[in-house]
Structure 1
Amino acid sequence: MGGAIVPDVRIQAEDFDLAAEVSRLTDGRSDVGAVVTFAGLCRDEDGRLSALELEHYPGMAEAEITRIANEAVARWPLKGLTAIHRYGRILPGDNIVLVIAASSHRQAAFEAASFLMDFLKTRAPFWKREHGADGTAGNWVEATEADEKSSHRWSDFTQR
C-alpha cells in the first residue's frame, strides 16, 4: 500500500460488526502482521443502568477524532486505523465504540489503539447520560480521574 494511511472515522447511530470491520481493514493485505481491536460496550452498572444516552457535536466530533487519528498515523507505522463511535440510546451489552489498529508489528498497533482510545474517553466531544433502571434520568457523566490520568501519558505526543 503506497502513500499515507487515511484513518476511517465514523460517528453513527447504527451498530457495527467487529469481524466485518476487521475484515474491511485487512482483507487482501499481506503487509499486516498485527491487528489490535478495542470494543467498548455499555455496562448495566450492577443492574442500576437501563441505558446510556450519547450525544455529540456533529462535524466537530468527526473532526476531532480524525485529528487525533492522524496524529496516531504520523506517530506509529500503521497499515490502517478505524475508529467508530456510536450515539443515541445504547442499551447494556450494546456496542459503543470500536478502535482497530493494523500494523506490521504488534507494538505499534497496541500503542496506537491505546492512544486513540484514551483520547476518545477524555477529549472527543461526546456527552453521556445514564438512564436508571428505576426510570430516572441521571446527570451527564464526566470523564473519570483514571481516564484523565491515562491520557496524560500521551501529552508529549499531542498538540493541545
Structure 2
Amino acid sequence: MINQTQPQYFLEKVRNSFHSLEGKKVTVFGLSFKPHTDDTRESVSFPIMKQLLDEKANVVVHDPIVHLSKYWLDKGVTQCSDPYEAALESDIILICTNWPHYEELDWAKVRNIVHHAFVFDGRNMLEAGKMNELNFNYEGIGYP
C-alpha cells in the first residue's frame, strides 16, 4: 500500500517509463486515503499531484466522493465526475485509492480512449494478467 513516505517511490516508477512528465496528461484515480470516505488527511494523492504540477504535467482527477478545493483547481488540476472522461486521451493513469469503482471499470473501453496505455496501480487492486491482455503497460505497486 502506498503511504505518506512513498509518493516519490511511486513517481519514480512512472519516470522509469516517461523521461519527462511535462505536457503529459496524468489521470489520478482516487483522492481519499481509503475508499468509502471523503477523508483526505493521509492521502498520497495530494503530494503526488503537487509533484506532477511541479513537473508541468496536466493533472486530471476523479474521485466518487471527494471534491477538490479551489486551491487545487486554481493550480490547474481538472476534476471530472466521470472516470472515463478523466481517462480520455490520458498518457498515464495513477490509481491512488482502491475504490471499487476503479476495479469495476470497463478497462477495455479505457484502453480504447487513452493516448498511452500506462497504468500505475498504487493499490495493486487490478489483475495484472487481465491488464496485460488488454495491452496496458501495467505496474502494480504496493498491496491491496
Same fold (TM over 0.5): no
Computing the radius of gyration from Cα coordinates, the structure with the larger value is: 1
- Give the structure-1-normalised TM-score: 0.28
Q: Which of the pair has the greater relative contact order for Cα pairs under 8 Å at 6+ separation?
A: 1
